[in-house]
Amino acid sequence: MEVVGDMARALILRTNQVSLREEMDKLAVEVATGFVTDPGQHLGGDVSGLLAIDRSLARLEAYRVNTTEATFLTSSMQVTMDEIQTRSESVSQSLIAAELTPNGALLSTLADDAENALAQIMNALNRNVAGRFLFSGTATDQKALAPSDDLLNDARTALAGASSLADVEAALDPLFDTGGSFETTTYTGSDTGISPLRLSETETADVDIRATDPTFRQVLKPLVMAALAADPTLGLSTDVQVEVLSKAGRDLLGAQEGLVELRAGLGALEARVEETTTRNAAEITATRIARLELVGTDQYETASRYESIRSQLESLYAITVRSQRLSLAEFL
């Protein structure tokens, strides 16, 4: 008859307890996560398929981040351009009517309205969303445009000596042309546009719209012209003021076509981003299902095994307690 000593019995019981606890902990993790804790063992050492799936999921996660960013940027830009279009269109209607009642007070009011609209539109182009300036190119940490007063001061200097509508237009054209003061001084963003965002293996999103876009210049130029039409330092005659305000209104109305086209292109990009987001989401779901089939666990079976191990461990604890309470007095 083989006799087991007290110390040996205690060691055997403790070893079994540790083994059962480790197994129960592993099963608890598998129940909670739905995946096996040792994929290598589960797959017989061949984890190449699992690694490929994990790489796909990592790539799709990067695309998800990019589509989210693209959606955020395009929607924010669309809201901004809607504000610009609405405000500039409203001002254009008022300016065109300047020639109907050409009196000094009305002309000054129209000029003030144009100046206010200029400031609002330039502020819109300086929009900062989530710590990022939308229309500054790669310089997302700084405003796209200097204050509107700075632009008006540059325009005043350029208009010194102008006495006719032709003079006013001739003076402002170089300011807004390529290499002019607007581009080199008023614009404070980067000359480099942000890189296209990779949305999928085949799709990218180019959201590079800067405040120097010709469409915005076509809006700002007539507003500057109208804002300074009644400026006393320029000394334009009433007739010339009327001509300048009316021409500014017509130019501003004509600029609406460019805004519509820019917004339409942005809207098409928004739709493409949304479609790509949907496709990516479907691919993520399919890839996760494939991963689950590869290294997933049967939740019912795992939970049953967990309960079985727990019962064994409780029984072992009971046996351990009883064995430790044995004594000669109890035996007798």
Three-state secondary-structure class, residue 123: helix
173 & 247 share domain = yes
Residue 13 lies in a domain: yes
Q: How confident is the model at residue 2 (pLDDT cuts 50, 70, 90)?
A: very low
Pair 56, 139 in one domain: yes
pLDDT tens, position by position, 210-261: 999 999 999 999 999 999 999 999 999 999 999 999 999 999 999 999 999 9
The DSSP 8-state label assigned to residue 160 in this structure reads: T
Same domain assignment for residues 179 and 306 = no
Q: What is the pLDDT of residues 251-279, one digit of tens each?
A: 999 999 999 999 999 999 999 999 999 99
Beta pairing class for 132-133 and 128-129: antiparallel
**Which of 203-231 are b and which e, b meaning 16 or more Cβ less than 10 Å from the residue's Cβ?**
bebebebbbbeebbbbbbbbbbbbbbbbb
Can you tell me the distance from the alpha carbon of 47 to that of 33, in angstroms, rounded to the nearest whole number? 19
Question: pLDDT per residue over 63-82, tens digit each?
Answer: 999 999 999 999 999 999 99
102 & 221 share domain: yes
Q: Are residues 199 and 251 both part of a single domain?
A: yes
Confidence of residue 11 (pLDDT cuts 50, 70, 90): low
- The answer to whether 135 and 286 have CB atoms below 8 angstroms apart is no
Q: Same domain, yes or no, for 322 and 269?
A: no
Question: 């300011």: which residue's tokens?
Answer: 175
Evaluated on CA atoms 41, 42, 46, 52, the torsion sign reads negative
Q: Are residues 109 and 207 in the same domain?
A: yes
Give the integer Cα–Cα distance in Å for 73 and 209.
10
Q: pLDDT confidence of 195, banded at 50, 70, 90?
A: very high
Neighbours of 40 (CB within 10 A): 12
Domain that includes residue 19, residue range:
6-34+298-331
DSSP label at residue 213 = -
Structure-block tokens of residue 171: 């003076």
User: Which CATH number do you get for residue 160?
Assistant: 1.20.1330.10
Residue 321 confidence (pLDDT) above 80: no
Tell whether 293 is covered by a domain: no
Number of structural domains in the chain: 2
Examine residue 161 and state whether it is found in any structural domain, yes or no.
Answer: yes
CA separation (Å) from 12 to 8, 15, 18, 26, 192?
6, 5, 10, 21, 72
Q: Quick check: is 40 in a domain?
A: no
Sign of the CA dihedral with 212 first, then 213, 216, and 218 last: positive
Does residue 43 fall inside a structural domain?
no
- Tell me: do 255 and 310 sit in the same domain: no
Contact criterion met (CB below 8 Å) for 132 and 70: no
Whether residue 112 has pLDDT greater than 90: yes
**Average pLDDT for residues 7-18, to the nearest whole number?**
63
**Region for 137 from its dihedrals, namely left if φ exceeds 0, alpha if ψ lies in -120 to 50, beta otherwise:** left
Tell me: pLDDT of 4 over 70: no
pLDDT(25) > 50: yes
